[in-house]
Amino acid sequence: MYNFNCRVVPKNYQHVLALVFAVNELNENPQILPNVTLGFHIHDSYFSERMTYWATLDILSTSYRFVPNYQCDIQKNLMAIIGGLDFETSLHMAAILTGYKIPQLSYGSFAPEDADQSQSTPFYRMVPNEAHQYTGILELLLQFGWTWVGLLTVDSESGEKFMEILQTLLSQRGICLAFSERTPKGTYLEEYYNLLSQWLQAYLIIAESKANTVIVYGEDKSMFYLQLLLAAGEAENVTSLAKVWIMTAQLDFSAVAFRTSQDMQPFHGSICFTVHSNEVQGFKTLLRSLNPFMAGEDGFLQQFWQQTFHCSFPNSIAEFSETCTGQEKLDSLPSSGFEMSMTGHSYSIYNAVYVVAHALHAMFQSWSKDRGIVRRWRPQLQKLQPWQLPPLSQCNKNCPSGTRRKKKEGEKFCCYDCTPCSEGKISYQKGRKH
């Protein structure tokens, strides 16, 4: 989980709960890893290279001592690491884990496959290749005739790659980019204010563009910065952004606790890709049973409760006027605040735990020369349901019958004038080039 000024992000807290749920489920299952108890440690990368390297080395160290490559006292028996919500974090972790040959199961890295990279980094993706999202975005734009669109990507290696590949694909299918902006990348909340001028510049470009559709690509916390971007623009009395936002699966509305319905207003009508998920029996029961006064070893629960329900506990630093009673219900929250169903990333974590467990189970069977059949477990694919929208996002309206497109000098090919067809020729279709 990441935080801003020690804040727990609701969606990422569900990641923790999915991990706990899967581990407990396996430990209570005598058919998998009998007489073996699985455990876990949770570390935070804070979306910082330095903290990612530190956390990775700490995982490899002896318990309660930051001493990598030295074994003493209680051993962790580290078998695998589940991590990497964003691609850069996965790569930073892999740079260290490669030397230890410890597998990393990445539950949120969408970067395209790279032959050289896949051979040098020991991580396994629990999510589909990013190429599927390119196809999905392209087909979506073509379906609705959105040929004049904007692109907003985080200023990172994966963002640059996404922009480069998508621009080529769009151009091949006759779709133009009205603008392509890189959003500044910050690790901590304080950095946002130092980058405010850059955010406002991006806001003005988006607001003044004729493109009514904007593709957004970024890491998980980009949703938070995008919300602040829109709020900052509104505060400066800039034109409101009435756009259709198309967001990649790394972004999620529940990644940030929206305090008011006004915070969600600019995002009505958005289209979000998502990671596949299934209903996991018993998970909602776990969520409904959460009690902040019986948190036990869960050091996140009370923080999560305060920031989700905007209340305070006795003896805590008062942030809210209301007092937490423990009677608050998670299922009373809007999905933008917290989701009761297991999200795609949480489901990937749940699957990753089972992958590790089954791998260990198979290894133990091999050691004991047991030729029994190992039960195979595989998530079932769920068919996506189609849905439709009314908005248009074009530089020009289609030319009516009897006219043809005429290129505008100095403009991209999606912007054109309509001129009558040549004498003796006529077009019965709209938007013809000749």
Exposed e or buried b per residue across 351-389, where buried means at least 16 C-beta atoms within 10 angstroms of its C-beta: bbbbbbbbebbeeeeeeeeeeeeeeeeeeeeeeeeeeee
Task: State how far the Cα of 272 lies from the Cα of 269, in Å rounded to an integer.
Answer: 10
Amino acid at 208: E
Question: Considering only the top CATH level, what class is 131-272?
Answer: alpha beta
42 by DSSP, 3-state: which? Answer: coil
Q: Residue 284: enclosing H or E segment and its boundaries?
A: helix 283-289
Task: State how far the Cα of 338 lies from the Cα of 100, in Å rounded to an integer.
Answer: 37
CA angle 362, 368, 372 (to 5 degrees): 60
Task: Name residue, tokens 């505008």.
Answer: 408
pTM score, two decimals?
A: 0.78
Of the candidates 304, 189, 295, 200, the one whose C-alpha atom is nearest the C-alpha of residue 254 is 304
Q: What does the pLDDT read at residue 285?
A: 93
354 by DSSP, 3-state: which? Answer: helix
Of the candidates 212, 210, 211, 214, the one whose C-alpha atom is nearest the C-alpha of residue 226 is 214
Bin 410: left if φ > 0, else alpha if -120 < ψ < 50, else beta: left
User: Where exactly are the structural domains of the chain?
Assistant: 10-129+277-367, 131-272, 396-434
Are 199 and 225 in contact by the 8 Å Cβ rule? The answer is yes
Task: State how far the Cα of 60 lies from the Cα of 136, in Å rounded to an integer.
Answer: 39
Q: What string of DSSP letters covers 142-207? A: HHHT--EEEEEEESSHHHHHHHHHHHHHHHHTT-EEEEEEEEPP-SSHHHHHHTHHHHHHHHHHHH
Per-residue pLDDT of the chain (434 residues; tens, 9 = 90+): 444 445 667 778 899 999 999 999 999 998 988 888 898 988 888 777 888 899 888 888 876 677 777 666 656 678 889 987 877 788 888 888 887 888 889 887 665 555 445 445 567 888 887 788 889 999 999 999 999 999 988 888 788 888 999 999 999 999 999 999 887 776 555 565 666 677 777 778 888 888 999 998 877 666 666 776 666 666 665 555 678 889 888 776 554 544 444 456 667 778 888 888 999 999 999 999 999 988 787 888 988 898 888 888 887 776 688 899 999 988 888 776 788 899 888 999 999 999 999 988 887 776 665 444 443 333 322 332 222 227 567 788 888 888 888 888 888 888 888 888 887 776 555 555 54
Q: What does the pLDDT read at residue 1?
A: 45
Task: State how far the Cα of 259 lies from the Cα of 262, in Å rounded to an integer.
Answer: 8
Q: What CATH architecture does domain 10-129+277-367 belong to?
A: 3-Layer(aba) Sandwich (3.40)
322 by DSSP, 3-state: which? Answer: strand
Task: Name residue, tokens 């090919």.
Answer: 413
